[in-house]
Copies of this chain bind each other. A is one copy, B any other.
Amino acid sequence: MQLDQLVFHFNEAKKKFDRGEDTLDSINATVVTCIRLLKSVKTVEEWPGPGKKLYLVYKQGEKLSRPFLKDQLINEKEFQTLWSKFFRSIDREQTTVQMAPLDISKLIYNIVVPFCVCFDLWKSASRKTPGTFFEVVLGTMIAGVLPFSMQRTKHIQLPSDLEKNIPGALPGETIESVSTDIVFQETGKGLVIPAKITTRERIVQPFAHQRILDSVFGIGHYISYLVCVSETQLSNKGRKVQDICVPGTITLFQKHLAKLGGVYYLDPPERYLALSRAGVINISNIGSLFSEDLAEIVKRLNQIQSE
């Protein structure tokens, strides 16, 4: 019953998102259903993670959920408080949310991760749905803060000379635009948000896409900010949670492929925070995107002359 409701609310959110309609009530209903569902799970184990982090792992029959950061766990009432506070604290003129970044992070963690955990336990065949929900949530929340002039889209239109006459193309098939997950743009410049639950071997994609955007539009016109949930993985040996990190690869890509504007995590891996402190690439908690960085990004984009 509650599971049907979860799928119903998610489908509503997705449908509205695709049509450009207000998704907030559907997202809220989705999250509330997830929190209630998870309260019904009888077996919840504590698994230690990197640093001093502690994770909850939900068990349902044979199924293990992905890890849930214990110190982020909140109840339905706390969730509703953070939710209303977020939307009340938006200052669209300054492009900020006037709220503690750690509270913003906690809110977004509790919108996205309970949904992932529910799908692990009861809908594990629908592997792509958590990623889709993550996109809907991020797209909605970022749109709520950005200037109205920035239009959300999924594809960056390439200059028309690139689109025509591709040998081997089927009738009606134009050049595939850079298939970014979320884009906010005005004429010829914008903000690209690849949204990934976890990066793994797909870490190359946002860097390669950034490189193409730099080459097609000139450096600085489109800037990518990769947003991820975490890099955690359950390690059954020793019931531990570990982070799968490739700091060397990221260093190499940032230096020799293209520069990302930054990477945001709902649960940032310790080792990537070290990379960030060393100045290789800006990697931080999702909260700071809303509390500070979006304002900076929009300022930078405004300085670019659009043609």
Q: Which A residues are closer than 8 A to B by beta carbons?
A: 158, 162, 166-170, 173-176, 178, 204-205, 207-208, 211-212, 215-216, 245-249, 251-253, 255-257, 270-275, 277-278, 280
9 closest A-B pairs (Cβ-Cβ)?
A167-B278, A168-B271, A175-B248, A168-B247, A168-B274, A215-B256, A168-B275, A208-B208, A176-B248
In the complex, the chain B residue whose C-beta lies closest to that of A273 is: B168
* Cα–Cα distance between A207 and B248 once the two chains are bound (Å): 19
In the complex with contacts A176-B252, A252-B175, A252-B176, A166-B212 CB distance below 8 A: no
- Choose among B204, B246, B248, B272 the residue that contacts A208 (Cβ–Cβ < 8 A): B204
Minimum CB distance partner of A278 in chain B: B167
**Residues of B close to A275: CB separation below 8 A:** 166-168
Q: In the bound complex, how far is the Cα of B255 from the Cα of A216, in angstroms?
A: 9
A216-B256, A271-B168, A275-B168 known; A246+B211 contact, CB < 8 A: no
Chain B residues with CB below 8 A from A207, complex form: 208
User: Which residues on B sit within 8 Å (CB–CB) of A274?
Assistant: 167-168
Identify 11 new A-B residue pairs, CB closer than 8 A, beyond the known A176-B248, A211-B256: A168-B245, A168-B273, A169-B247, A173-B248, A175-B249, A175-B251, A204-B208, A207-B208, A208-B211, A211-B211, A212-B257
Interface CB pairs A-B, < 8 A, 7: A158-B252, A162-B255, A204-B205, A204-B208, A208-B211, A211-B257, A215-B257
Contact of A246 among B158, B167, B176, B251 (CB under 8 A): B176
Report how far A153 CA is from B151 CA in the complex, Å.
Answer: 48
A38 to chain B, nearest CB (A): 32
For A251, the chain B residues whose CB sits under 8 A away are: 162, 166, 175
Q: Are A167 and B216 in contact (CB under 8 A)?
A: no
B248, A169: Cβ atoms closer than 8 Å:
yes
Q: By the criterion CB–CB under 8 Å, are A162 and B252 in contact? A: yes
Which B residues lie within 8 Å of A170 (CB)?
271
What's the least CB distance linking A286 to chain B, in Å?
A: 19
Minimum Cβ distance to chain B for residue A235 (Å):
15
B residues near A215, Cβ cutoff 8 Å = 255-257
Question: Which residues of B have CB within 8 Å of A166?
Answer: 247-248, 251, 275
Give CA–CA (A272, B169) in the complex, Å: 9
Q: Roughly how many angstroms separate A205 CA and B166 CA in the complex, as a whole number?
A: 21
